Amino acid sequence: MQDFLTLLQVKTESFLTLRKRRKLKRKEKQKKKNPVLDWIQAILEAAFWVLLINQFLFQAYQIPSGSMETTLMIRDRIFVNKLIYGPELLPGVAKINGFVKPVRGDVITFENPTYISKGPWFDLIQRVLYMITFSLVDIDRDEFGNPRVHFLIKRAAGVGGDRLRFINGNLYIKPPGFSEWLPEKEFLGLSYNQDNTRRLLTQDLYPSIKAQAFQDAYQQAGIRISLDNPVTSQSKQYAQADLYAWVYWRNQALYALYPQDKRYGSNWWKGELGWYIPEGWVFPLGDNRDNSRDGRYFGPVQVKKVLGKGAFKYWPLNRIGSIR
C-alpha cells in the first residue's frame, strides 16, 4: 500500500510539473507574439466560429421589406433555424437532410427564384461576409446602392397536394380529399392554424383594378372603349398593390381581343385554374398580401431549396420574441 501511495505521489508531482512547464512555455510564446498578429488571430478565430454557427445552426437575417408585416417588420433582425430543415455543406452547395420538412404555416427562408447571380465566387464571398457580420454587411447591391434581394422570407401557405387560387386577392384552398374550395380564413380555422394575413386593399377597389387592366389591354390594341367602372387616378396604385389580379384581367381582355394568341389564353387560364402543388414543394406567400412579391409571381418552391425556418426576433429590443 505504501509503495502505491509513493508511486501515486511521484506521478502527481510529475503531472503538475509538466503542466506548469507548458503554461510557462505558453506565456513565453505569448510575450514573443506581435500584438497585431495576436488580434488578427483572435478575430479570425471568432469569425470562424460565427461562420460555423451561421452556416449550420442559426443564421442572422435583416428584414428588408414589409411583405411579412405585422409578423416581421422592416429592419427586424432575426435568427433563422438552419438545422431543422438541413443546412448546406457550404453556402450555395449540397444541402444535408434535416429533421423535418416545412409544413403549412411555417415561416421559411429560401433563395429568391428571380435572383440573377453575379457568379459563384461573388455569391460565396457575399454570403460569408453577411453571416460573419450578423447581416450588418451586404455587398450585393444594385446600381442605386440598394441591397439586391438574394433571399426571401415568406410563409408556407400551400403544401404538397393542395390546389390554390386567388379571387380578388383572397386565397382559396382545396386540400387533398376536399371537393370544394375553402376561403383561407375558413380553412385555417378548421386546421387550427393561426391567421396572420393582412390586406391593404378592400373588395370594393377590385372593379377599379379590373377596369384599369381592361383599359390597358384595349389601348395596346388601339381601341377606345367606355367601361362600366371608370378608371381613376388611383387605379394604377391599386393595381401595383395586387399586380397579380391586374395581370390576370389584362390577359383575359387580351385573349378576347387576340384569341389566336395562345400566350394570353394560357396565362389567363393559369389564373383561372390556380396551382396544383406537387409533393416535395411548398407555396410561399407574404403575410402582407398586397405588398409582397411571392409565389403568385414565381410559383411554388422545392422543399430542398428551403434553407431555414424563422425562429427568433432579437432586434429591436421591444420586438424580441419567437416567430409564429
pLDDT in tens, 281-296: 999 999 999 999 999 9
Share of the chain above pLDDT 90, in %: 48
**Does some domain include residue 274?**
no
Judgement on whether residues 106 and 59 belong to the same structural domain of the protein: yes
Show the CA angle centred on residue 187, arms to residues 303 and 195, nearest 5°.
75
Judgement on whether residues 227 and 311 belong to the same structural domain of the protein: no
H-run or E-run covering 157: strand 151-159
pLDDT tens figures, 117-167: 888 788 878 888 888 787 778 888 887 888 888 899 999 999 999 999 999
- Kindly state the cell numbers that stand for 22: 507548458
Q: In angstroms, how far apart are the furthest CA atoms of the chain?
A: 113
**Does some domain include residue 311?**
yes
The span from the CA of 240 to the CA of 237, in Å, is 5
CATH code for position 80: 2.10.109.10
The span from the CA of 86 to the CA of 100, in Å, is 8
pLDDT of residue 221: 84
Instruction: Please choose, from the candidates 183, 181, 184, 203, the residue with its C-alpha nearest in 3D space to the C-alpha of residue 194.
Output: 184
Place of cell 450555395: 92
Judgement on whether residues 53 and 100 belong to the same structural domain of the protein: yes
**Does some domain include residue 27?**
no
Judgement on whether residues 53 and 122 belong to the same structural domain of the protein: yes
Judgement on whether residues 237 and 148 belong to the same structural domain of the protein: no
pLDDT of residue 289: 95
What range does the domain containing 310 cover?
A: 48-161+279-295+302-322
**Does some domain include residue 256?**
yes
Judgement on whether residues 149 and 291 belong to the same structural domain of the protein: yes
- Which residues have a Cβ under 8 Å from the Cβ of 1 and sit 6 or more positions away? none
Mean pLDDT of 79-90: 90
Instruction: Please choose, from the candidates 178, 181, 175, 180, the residue with its C-alpha nearest in 3D space to the C-alpha of residue 161.
Output: 175
Judgement on whether residues 314 and 263 belong to the same structural domain of the protein: no
- Which residues have a Cβ under 8 Å from the Cβ of 185 and sit 6 or more positions away? 195, 197
What are the backbone dihedrals phi and psi of residue 19, each rounded to the nearest 5 degrees, phi first? Answer: -65, -40
Judgement on whether residues 55 and 153 belong to the same structural domain of the protein: yes
Judgement on whether residues 58 and 85 belong to the same structural domain of the protein: yes
pLDDT at 222 over 90: no
What are the backbone dihedrals phi and psi of residue 220, each rounded to the nearest 5 degrees, phi first? Answer: -60, -35
According to DSSP H, which parts of the chain are helical? 2-32, 35-56, 120-132, 184-190, 206-220, 235-241, 243-257, 262-273, 295-298
CB 300 within 8 A of CB 283: yes
Judgement on whether residues 151 and 285 belong to the same structural domain of the protein: yes
pLDDT band, very low/low/confident/very high, at 317 (cuts 50, 70, 90):
very high
Judgement on whether residues 69 and 127 belong to the same structural domain of the protein: yes
Reported pTM: 0.82
CB 274 within 8 A of CB 42: no
Measured in whole angstroms, how far is the alpha carbon of residue 63 from the centre of its chain? 9
| Counted domains in the chain | 2
What are the backbone dihedrals phi and psi of residue 222, each rounded to the nearest 5 degrees, phi first? Answer: 75, 30
Judgement on whether residues 260 and 289 belong to the same structural domain of the protein: no
**Does some domain include residue 122?**
yes
